[in-house]
Structure 1
Amino acid sequence: MQHGEPVVYLAAPPFPYFMGCGRTVYAPGDAHPNRRDLGMFDLILVERGTLFIGEEERRWEVGAGRTLLLLPDRYHYSVRPCEEETAFVWIHFRALGEWGAAGGSEPTFADRELHASAYGTAAYTIRLPQFGMLPGAPGGSGEGERLLRLEKRNLSGAVWERQRLFEELLRSLDLRRREPSGSPAESVAERAERYIRSHYAETLTGASLSEALHFHYNYLTRCMKRVNGMTPMEYLEEYRLEQARLLLLRTEASVAAVAERVGFETAAYFSRRFARRFGISPLRFRQRHMR
């Protein structure tokens, strides 16, 4: 990220929600459309060429391997047409919680602690560079490419996978995750979280986590408790329940099918844990939000 560039702060939970994605290719002379108040975030990942885009008073030349996050309540416009063939992936998402953009200190989120308490987890601020660098190779790789492949599938099972990949993409861009902390506990906790998020639908135990990550389970527990206040098994259940909420909202799969997809052994146990966490049964939750 260049010095002085704004940082976009997203209060979580609730976490940002994936809406859709696609790939656009401009020939020389083509330009990005002008638009106002899109109503959702527009994350652009340039694969080749250069986009010349403005937002209000700011202007950017977004080359291959760079990212640009356009804000939902601003005026976006083409600074000038493309000079060469330019390809980019665009990802639309919404932030259901508070957000803000600033060039200096983090804005104050009045409702963040209240939201976190309601979701039964710790408050967190996602810090995204408005103009940044995409980790890894710019074209044909990473979560952006996998999101595009999943977008072509109509299967209901692709819904939760798209959200997971989208969250992994945000995680890779999160400036807080990129900062070297020098803390072995934070490094181990991040590895454990990443593994759990990638394998949450499988049968995970303390022994299998220890074997996969090459650390004793007691040490994994100490690291995760220190960093995010949860044991690995508590984190696993939290993540499974969050994925279950998405499935209940965005698919017509039965409660039993949702329970199986996110890794719970029985629908009855899943329903008890869901009700304990959110204060409502999975079926009532779906009925309330699908009216």
Structure 2
Amino acid sequence: MDKEFIVALQTPPLPYYWESGRSTFRAGDRHPNRRNFGLFDVLLVVDGELHIGENGTEWTLATGDALVLLPEGEHYSFRPCEQETTFYWVHFEHVDWHQGPLIEESEAAIPLSPFDKPKSIRIPKKTTLLNPQLAFDMMHQLVLLPVGESFWEKQQLLFRFLAILENGTSDMAKTPASRLAESVALFLQQNYQEEITNETLSSALHFHPSYIVRCMKMKYGVTPVQYLHQFRIERAKQLLVSTEWSIDRIATEIGFQYSPYFSTCFKRNVGISPLLFRKKYLN
């Protein structure tokens, strides 16, 4: 294939697990042909080679290769196995998805907010895992769970498996500027209770403040100070609905020196005061 493709799953809802298994084909065996299967089918090769086509595009999958087959269209074997081939497979359902070319982060649209929801899960169409044993072990756990039971364990293992695939795609698309922005975001999240300036970030991460600001605006659409401010507000929302702390205590906990200023900022961002927000979600 000339281009690398991703399958994007919009959330919510999250993907829904149906079934999984481990299959071994002898030389001469073929993967079954299907049309409009209705479920996503992810193949992960353990040993040998699997020759799979979908809607006119064909792949030869070797050890550590994973391929996502779509619920629509035709899946077929374009060549029988030439050697004994073992692979895992997992079927899952999702209603809001699309397939498209992998976009470099430098070409992607700037988000309206770094904390926007929903999220798009971006899974590579075909990928070679750098550490396939981790995925093998996960799939092994999945197929050992009894049929018709262990619903939550199966869902969690599916999510972890898709996360392994997604992380591979994310690394392919990242630029040095994007990686720096992620480091800045992590630093801000770990130190949000402290007073942080652009100079603080420059000293901690060893980059010029103006370059840090440019990287953050490219990746998240906001400056580091704006990111910190939004993160504090998100943290305040969590504390308002999960604790009985006073507004003053929450303001101090998230890094605001003055409670009235916190309330003003919260209302400007959320549209209602912290007290009304708490009443809205607790009543």
State the shift of 1:177 in Å. Answer: 5.7
The answer on whether the counterparts of 1:135 and 1:172 sit within 8 Å (CA) in structure 2 is no
Q: Aligned partners of 2:20, 2:172: CA distance in 1, in Å?
A: 25
Q: Is the 8 A contact 1:43 1:68 kept in 2?
A: yes
- Contact conserved, 1:46 with 1:67, CA < 8 A, in 2? yes
Secondary structure of 2:158 counterpart: helix
Give the whole-Å Cα distance in 2 for the aligned partners of 1:226 and 1:16: 31
Larger Rg: 2
Question: Is contact 1:185-1:226 (8 Å) kept?
Answer: no
Q: CA deviation at 1:137?
A: 2.8
- Confirm or deny that 1:127 pairs with 2:115: no
- In 2 relative to 1, CA 122–130 (structure 1 residues): closer, same or farther, beyond 3 Å? same
Deviation at 1:30, TM superposition (A): 0.5
Go from structure 1 to structure 2 and tell me whether the alpha carbon gap of 1:188 and 1:48 turns closer, same or farther (over 3 Å shift): farther
Give the alignment partner of residue 99 of structure 2, picking from 94, 98, 101.
101
In structure 1, what residue type is equivalent to 2:20? C
Shift of 1:233: 9.1
Match of 1:176 among 150, 153, 170: 170
Spell out the pairing of 1:141-152 with structure 2 (5 A cutoff).
141-149=136-144, 151-152=145-146
1:186 to 182, 199, 205: 182
**Cα gap change, 1:29/1:19 in structure 2, threshold over 3 Å: closer, same or farther?**
same
Q: Which residue of 2 aligns with 1:137?
A: 132
Structure 1 residue 66 corresponds to structure 2 residue 58: no
Q: Structure 2 vs 1, CA of residues 12 and 140 (structure 1 numbering), >3 Å: closer, same or farther?
A: closer
Preserved contact between residue 135 and residue 164 of structure 2 (Cα < 8 Å): no
Cα distance, 1:231 vs structure 2: 3.6
TM-score, length-normalised on structure 1? 0.57
Cα pair distance change 1:188/1:173, threshold 3 Å: farther
Superposition map of 1:29-48 within 5 A:
29-48=28-47
- SS, match of residue 24 in structure 1: strand
Name the counterpart of 1:9: 8
**Gaps spanning 5+ residues in structure 1: where?**
107-112, 114-119, 192-209, 239-272, 280-291
- 1:171, 1:177 within 8 Å by CA — same for their partners in 2? no
Shift of 1:166: 1.0
One-letter code aligned to 1:132: T
CA 1:152–1:217: 2 relative to 1, 3 Å: farther
- Helix, strand or coil: the match of 1:31? coil
TM-score (norm 2): 0.58
Question: How do residues 1-291 of structure 1 correspond to structure 2 at under 5 angstroms?
Answer: 3-97=2-96, 99-103=97-101, 122-138=117-133, 141-149=136-144, 151-152=145-146, 155=149, 158-174=150-166, 175-176=169-170, 179-180=173-174, 182=176, 183=179, 186=182, 218=193, 230-231=234-235, 234=238, 276=281
Alpha-carbon distance in structure 2 between the residues aligned to 1:50 and 1:169: 21
* CA distance in structure 2 between the aligned counterparts of 1:16 and 1:227, rounded to whole angstroms: 32
Could you tell me how far apart the structure 2 residues matched to 1:30 and 1:19 are?
25
Deviation at 1:234, TM superposition (A): 4.0
Give the 3-state SS of the residue equivalent to 1:147 in structure 2: helix
CA contact (8 A) 1:186 1:227 kept: no
Matched with 1:207 is: none
Q: CA deviation at 1:50?
A: 0.5
Q: Number of paired residues?
A: 203
SS at match of 1:141: helix
Q: CA RMSD in A?
A: 4.2
List, as ranges, runs of 4+ consecutive aligned residues in structure 1 with deviation greater than 6 Å. Answer: 188-191
Q: CA deviation at 1:142?
A: 3.6
The percent identity for this pair of structures is 32
Preserved contact between residue 46 and residue 136 of structure 2 (Cα < 8 Å): no
Distance 1:95 1:132, change over 3 A: same
- Which ranges in structure 2 are unaligned for 5 or more consecutive residues? 105-111, 195-223, 243-277
